[in-house]
Amino acid sequence: MPPQFHFLPIEVTLSFEGLQHFTSATLYDAEERTETPLREGMTLSVPANTSGRYFLRAGTPTGNEVLNASDIQIYTLSGNRVMVASATPLKDIRVYNLSGALMKHVQAGVCSFELYLPDGIYIVKAENANGEVETAKVAVR
């Protein structure tokens, strides 16, 4: 009888140490738009195939940091996808390569828009109906 294989979902377990040096720490999930508070010694498992989805946020902003007031979010998803989302409908999305050439221009009119791009590094500039503008450098793979 041939061997039988059972594949389990692949996960990565993250362990958090040294958090006592920060006033607060969270793990931000850009796809779900949620923040998970982190504590010293905590472990957390996340899916392994989620490049660009999770971000570690720590500390308290100081007077030297620029605070982002825009509600536009730009982030990568697996499968060569870039998500642009806003609470207010998006008016204009432009994608540039690193040489500054315009690669894609979309007039969306919706609150979230998914772009499919070839592997590479891009500058994504989005504007919503309120006139707020967000620009982000994204690596697509």
Confidence of residue 10 (pLDDT cuts 50, 70, 90): confident
Which residue would you say has higher pLDDT here, 116 or 51?
Answer: 116
**19/22 Cα distance (integer angstroms):** 6
Residues 53 and 75: beta-carbon distance below 8 Å: yes
Per-residue model confidence (pLDDT) at position 40: 87
Looking at the structure of the chain, the number of domains it has is: 2
pTM of the model: 0.55
**Strands 54-58 and 25-29, sheet pairing:** antiparallel
Domain assignment present for residue 2? The answer is no
Domain that holds residue 116: 73-140
For the chain, how many helices (H) and strands (E)?
0, 12
Residue 4 within a domain: no
For residues 87 and 128, state if they share a domain: yes
Percent of the chain that is helix, strand, coil (3-state, to 5): 0, 50, 50
Within a domain: residue 45?
A: yes
Q: Is residue 29 part of a domain?
A: yes
